[in-house]
Amino acid sequence: MRELYPEIEPYRTHRLRVDDIHELYIEECGHPDGLPVVFLHGGPGAGLSAYHRRFFDPTRYRIVLFDQRGAGKSTPHAELRDNTTWHLVADIEAIREYFGIERWVVFGGSWGSTLALAYAQKHPERVLGLVLRGIFLGRPDELRWFNELDGGARFIFPERWERYLAHIPEDERHDMVEAYWRRLDSDDPSVRVDAAIAWGNWEGGSTTLVHDPDEPGNFEDPHAAVSVARAEAHYFRHRIFLEPDQLLRDIHRIRRIPATIVHGRYDIICPVKTAHDLASAWPEAAFHIVLAGHSAADPAIVDVLVSATDALADRYA
């Protein structure tokens, strides 16, 4: 099985102001003259991790990574004004223009897969290939599956669900996202942080195939927890700023683009049916269901992702 490439550091970082409010943090890694690829992180609001650089052969790729609005090292932190799917799509295009890149590979997982599809459908002429993991299309059933009482994830991770549920009074539990949002948007910083950590414990610890119900999760750091929880609740309560079934409806715009889709059979955050629906609408894409959960770090998912980026480098580099 393929493994991640060795750890690397950026050869250059940038700060790009995209409007009167937001400034993005951007990294360039790998080979300055390599095949351009843009990495789209999850969340929304999760920001970059060092291992995100490692899905690409650094001798053949010019790897562009950035923290989306309000996330990571982008500023202002956790800012939700002018922060929608379509603002982020415009940011991706602004980054491409800033670097003078004509066309590039687009790589995204989880929320990053949503954003990659939205960007590619808006700008298909700019996309050389797509590598998508842990598919999320932002449909109402997907939103309710993981976060609401009538969803199914609570039956898989009951210990975690109890802690997520306990943070909200019983009379507000009919709409958990809205109840969390009221706390995440509180004027009291301690209320915001407590809600964000509870939200992050539910999601962040539910990503891997091998599950430890007491693992605190990926978002236990208050700074990261607040940006993730605020952005996710904001996007979820606005239905991801997409029209119903928009990403499936507009798949015809990208059917000619080489694409790989990989999804964990036991992904509880984004159930595999979502990826199956995408692949059914897009039979030209290579579709892999593997023995994994949601995490991009699960070995079976790493194997497909690295194989896919290597194949695109063989094709274009």
Please identify every residue annotated as catalytic.
110, 267, 294
CA distance 91 to 105: 16
- 185 phi, psi to nearest 5 deg: -105, 15
Asked if 219 and 71 count as a contact pair (C-beta separation under 8 A), the reply is no
Place of tokens 């009167």: 20
Residue 35 main-chain phi, psi, to 5 deg: -65, 120
Distance CA 120, CA 122 (A): 5
SS3 call for 231 = helix
Kindly provide the b/e burial profile for residues 150-167, where b requires at least 16 CB atoms within 10 angstroms of the residue's own CB.
Answer: ebebbeebeebbeebbeb
